[in-house]
Amino acid sequence: MYDQLDSLLELQKIDGEIDKLKRRKDLAPAKLKALENELLKHKQKLDIKTQEIEEINKKRREWDRKLAVQQALMDKYKAQRTSVRTNKEYAALELEISEVEKTISEVEEEIIKLMLELDGTKDELELAKKDYQTQEEIFQKKKEEIILEVKKINKQIALFTQKRNPYISKISPVLMNRYNDWRERKGGFLVAIIEGQTCGGCHLTLPPQLINEVRKKKDLRTCNSCGRILYWKEEVDEPQDKKET
């Protein structure tokens, strides 16, 4: 069964790549959500400006009504001028008229202030609209990029998944089940390469006797600490280099 470990190691490499791709893919929804939230902020700024304009228009209508009331009063007083008989009545009426005139000019000042405020806010609204349009274009572009990236990742995952098949056919169902079970329960990989004196999975030192047994490449041996199947990788390159020199 030890000879199947070569295939299992290759399978691990492929699955490692698939895992990396899936992790990258899993980031996509959060990235998209962040972009949506960013765009929403700009939309809110736009909504606030629209609301402000509504408020100003509402105030404007109130002041217009006040002006109409004062103007009606003015018309009434002016009409009374013809029926005034005494100087005292005349003086009293003129006093009323001058009071109304004062009020009218105050109301008109308020209306002018509101008109200026409206102009300013309309300019701000236009800016907010343009800003939102720009942000929406940026959002759409980035969204398309994310969708494209996910498509690319899916293709790569499909390619790697195909690459698994030749190795799976060389691994016995028993070992394959063990491998799958390990992945499900622990999330990592079942086979660990011995690195010097340590297990490549948990990095704890292995007894020399265990290493010797693994080097015989006959039975499957596991790390006492983490339970991974141990694999001895021959250093092929080093001896060759030594021969050449």
Interface positions with Zn ion (CB under 5 A): 199, 201-202, 223, 225-226
The Cα–Cα gap between 57 and 64 comes to: 10
Task: Please answer whether residues 3 and 216 qualify as being in contact, where contact means their C-beta atoms are separated by less than 8 angstroms.
Answer: no
Closer residue to Zn ion (CB): 45 or 201: 201
Residue 65: name the closest of 122, 107, 114 by CA: 107
In the complex, least distance from residue 176 CB atom to Zn ion, rounded to whole angstroms: 21
Query: Would you state the torsion angle of the CA atoms of residues 76, 82, 85, 86, taken in this order, to the nearest 10 degrees?
Result: 70
In the complex, least distance from residue 167 CB atom to Zn ion, rounded to whole angstroms: 23
Closer residue to Zn ion (CB): 67 or 193: 193
Burial class (CB in 10 A: 0-12, 13-18, 19+), 96: middle
Closer residue to Zn ion (CB): 219 or 244: 219
In the complex, least distance from residue 214 CB atom to Zn ion, rounded to whole angstroms: 12
Closer residue to Zn ion (CB): 35 or 194: 194
Task: Please answer whether residues 107 and 62 qualify as being in contact, where contact means their C-beta atoms are separated by less than 8 angstroms.
Answer: no
In the complex, least distance from residue 228 CB atom to Zn ion, rounded to whole angstroms: 5
The single-letter DSSP state of residue 229 is E
